[in-house]
Structure 1
Amino acid sequence: MTITPIEKLFTIFDESAEVLQEELGCTYLEALAATGENLFQAEILQDNVNDLTKKRLRKKYEEVTLASFSPEEIRKAYQLALLKGTKHHVQPNHQMTPDSIGHMISYFTGKFLNKRTDLTMMDPAVGTGNLLSTIINGHNDNINIQAYGVEVDDLLLKLAYVGASLQEQRVEFFYQDALEPLFIDPVDAVICDLPVGYYPNDEQAKSYELNSTDGHAYAHHLIMEQSIKHTVHGGYLFFLIPNGLFESKEAPKLHEYLQKNVHIQGIIQLPLSLFKDEQAAKSLMILQKKMPGLKAPKEVLLASLPKLSNKDALNKMLAGMEKWFKENKE
């Protein structure tokens, strides 16, 4: 049976991470970050491993040459290892965005940003970096991307940094709470799988228009506001939002804020089959930051995607979207 390049590289990530996990007494994910960095630097960076372990690791690393893999093959192999490591240890907001959703967002970023050759992009809740990497790889051939990722969890940030390094992507990472002041110039595009929940820092929330008047503010509302502030006028934002975003008691305030600052370009409901249950279902909301002379689309792109396995329905839907782009964006 032929082993694919992705399987071959995953095996190296996985087996070398297990060796380090045992030797260092750390978690699988910590060991994965360490082994990824070893592979990238082409040396064993851990001082506290014995000579026998170093020998075992070198033997494994010598089985592959990173330069012989495409960035997308590296991303997928690394993602498989991440999925193995996150199975038991991760809270809901840290779950990786599924590839099917990542590729779909990549399609829409391509449609809305297709006239650019250089692009700055930010993910304010970057997690392990898989969504950002998927989108960068999707545009590798035609757009030169400088990206920024913000993450408050140091292990997730380390994993994102190692993944981007292995794929040789131009990403600058910031280890901080994305709702504190960001030292990032406004970007052309924001992409974010919004972490949904309450924001515990009431003091920091006071600096936001979308702060709640009663109790903790919603973190996802504040991240939307922060992202809009950090987008250039005329730039785009691609948010994965919960389907019930506009049903909460804070929804009228959010709606008013969006009306004032952005044009809603589209809301695409994702197939329910992509989610464990209906409560977790999401949609993609596409916004464009207002600027003088910029008109809203004649009509908002509203769609409910069929099951991705239903090729006929999907092709029909994509044809309808192409028509919308011709009428509204060209």
Structure 2
Amino acid sequence: MGISAVEKLFTVFNETAQILQEELSCTYLDALAETGENLFQDTVLQEELSEITVKRLRKKYKEINLEKYSNEEIRKAYQLSILKGMKENVQPNHQMTPDAVGMLFGYLVSKFIKAPSFKLLDPAVGTGNLLTTVLNMQPNKTIEATGIDIDDLLIRLAYVNANLQSHPIQLFNQDSLQPLFVEPQDAVICDLPVGYYPDDDRAAEYELKAKSGHSYAHHLFIEQSTRYLKPGGYMFLLIPNGLFESDQASQLHDFIKEYLVIQGVLQLPLSMFKNKNASKSIFIIQKKGDDVKPPKQVLLAELPTLSNAAAVDKIFRKIEAWINENK
């Protein structure tokens, strides 16, 4: 099954979402969550629909059999539908992590975490696209995955996303910077939400709170992730390249020095971003613990344009060599 499988799935997601959007007078993304739930439950759950609409939906659903599709095909088709919905209704916190970045996260998690089973947390899970990409790239491992997001629509989409791909992910709809109902984790992945955190009272409970004014949410997310990591656990974070150049950077620097060990920084190709200021890197850090030794040298790499297969292969070989030497 090639591209056509993804297209076929997308067409059914899209057309049935449009039918529900019209009939329920809701947004496309709400309708997408509804149609995804219908597909998963193999029925039409919306009681207020006319008989004709129910028949139309059933006919569309019969065009596909989810069991014949791979998780990645389902994820990609669902992602395309979400992206379509996000274009119609742009909100600043509705940004999806690019696929190529998700693949890199999945690759890094598979290389750094060799245990056959582990606990994985995404504290800004959004629609679950990054988390399910990573899970799909660990085929022979048993992973207890948890996702948290403050946005109830995104969590609904993540829930449907997980169900359609048969991933048993625990999802919480809450502010990730409040106390979490999760056990200590082996790894955290996160496309860090960048910006100011509005709740100064809550921020006051963090070491990385601002000396005056609002604190940086992305700093607090790093501290919160550290709290919920086991000693020796890893964080894989998508960070802005200017993370250590802000007015609160020295605090962050001190915090990392005290609790964490920097393992690597992989700078993503600038061509992936609209402008240089929006550019990002993958930051790999490990929580200190009895057996944790700093690497002989931090893994630093500038990733080439991902369409350049030979250059990408060379970088991956460099990463492999570094891991073999340091792990």
TMscore range, shorter length: over 0.9
Alignment-derived partner of residue 317 in structure 1: 315
Aligned amino acid, residue 220 of structure 2? L
Between the aligned partners of 1:314 and 1:52, the Cα distance in structure 2 is 52
Q: Does 1:120 align with 2:154?
A: no
Output aligned runs, 1:25-36, within 5 Å.
25-36=25-36
* Cα distance, 1:319 vs structure 2: 2.0
Deviates more, 1:144-153 or 1:87-96: 87-96
Aligned amino acid, residue 65 of structure 1? N
Q: Secondary structure at the match of 1:93?
A: coil
Alignment-derived partner of residue 292 in structure 2: 294
Between the aligned partners of 1:168 and 1:281, the Cα distance in structure 2 is 33
Aligned amino acid, residue 129 of structure 2? N
Alignment-derived partner of residue 209 in structure 1: 207
Between the aligned partners of 1:215 and 1:74, the Cα distance in structure 2 is 44
The answer for unaligned runs of 5 or more in structure 1 is: none
Alignment-derived partner of residue 10 in structure 2: 10
The alignment-based identity, stated in percent, is 56
2:232·2:291 contact (CA, 8 Å) conserved in 1?
no
What does the per-residue CA deviation read over 1:206-235, in whole Å, with 9 as the maximum and x for residues that have no partner?
110000011000000001100010111111
Between the aligned partners of 2:3 and 2:147, the Cα distance in structure 1 is 33
Alignment-derived partner of residue 58 in structure 2: 58
What does the per-residue CA deviation read over 1:48-89, in whole Å, with 9 as the maximum and x for residues that have no partner?
111111010011111111111111111011011011111132
Between the aligned partners of 1:163 and 1:293, the Cα distance in structure 2 is 37
CA RMSD of aligned residues (A): 1.1
Alignment-derived partner of residue 193 in structure 1: 191
1:93·1:196 contact (CA, 8 Å) conserved in 2?
no
1:273·1:307 contact (CA, 8 Å) conserved in 2?
yes
Aligned amino acid, residue 82 of structure 1? I
Alignment-derived partner of residue 326 in structure 1: 324
Q: Secondary structure at the match of 1:227?
A: helix
Q: Secondary structure at the match of 2:145?
A: strand
Q: Does 1:247 align with 2:245?
A: yes
Q: Does 1:273 align with 2:271?
A: yes
* Cα distance, 1:256 vs structure 2: 0.5
Between the aligned partners of 1:90 and 1:237, the Cα distance in structure 2 is 29
2:36·2:164 contact (CA, 8 Å) conserved in 1?
yes
What does the per-residue CA deviation read over 1:135-171, in whole Å, with 9 as the maximum and x for residues that have no partner?
00011x2211110000111101100000000000010
Alignment-derived partner of residue 72 in structure 1: 72
* Cα distance, 1:8 vs structure 2: 0.8
Alignment-derived partner of residue 170 in structure 1: 168
* Cα distance, 1:316 vs structure 2: 2.1
Aligned amino acid, residue 197 of structure 1? G
Between the aligned partners of 2:168 and 2:49, the Cα distance in structure 1 is 31
Distance 1:207-1:3 versus aligned 2 partners, 3 A rule: closer
Alignment-derived partner of residue 133 in structure 2: 134
Aligned amino acid, residue 173 of structure 1? L
Between the aligned partners of 2:50 and 2:99, the Cα distance in structure 1 is 38
Aligned amino acid, residue 245 of structure 1? L
Aligned amino acid, residue 134 of structure 1? T
2:150·2:176 contact (CA, 8 Å) conserved in 1?
yes
The answer for unaligned runs of 5 or more in structure 2 is: none
Output aligned runs, 1:226-245, within 5 Å.
226-245=224-243
Q: How many residues in Structure 1 have an aligned counterpart in Structure 2? A: 326
Aligned amino acid, residue 54 of structure 1? V
Distance 1:47-1:262 versus aligned 2 partners, 3 A rule: same
Alignment-derived partner of residue 305 in structure 2: 307
What does the per-residue CA deviation read over 1:109-139, in whole Å, with 9 as the maximum and x for residues that have no partner?
11101x2111110100011110001000011
TM-score relative to the length of structure 1: 0.97
* Cα distance, 1:3 vs structure 2: 7.0
2:14·2:81 contact (CA, 8 Å) conserved in 1?
yes
Between the aligned partners of 2:99 and 2:67, the Cα distance in structure 1 is 23
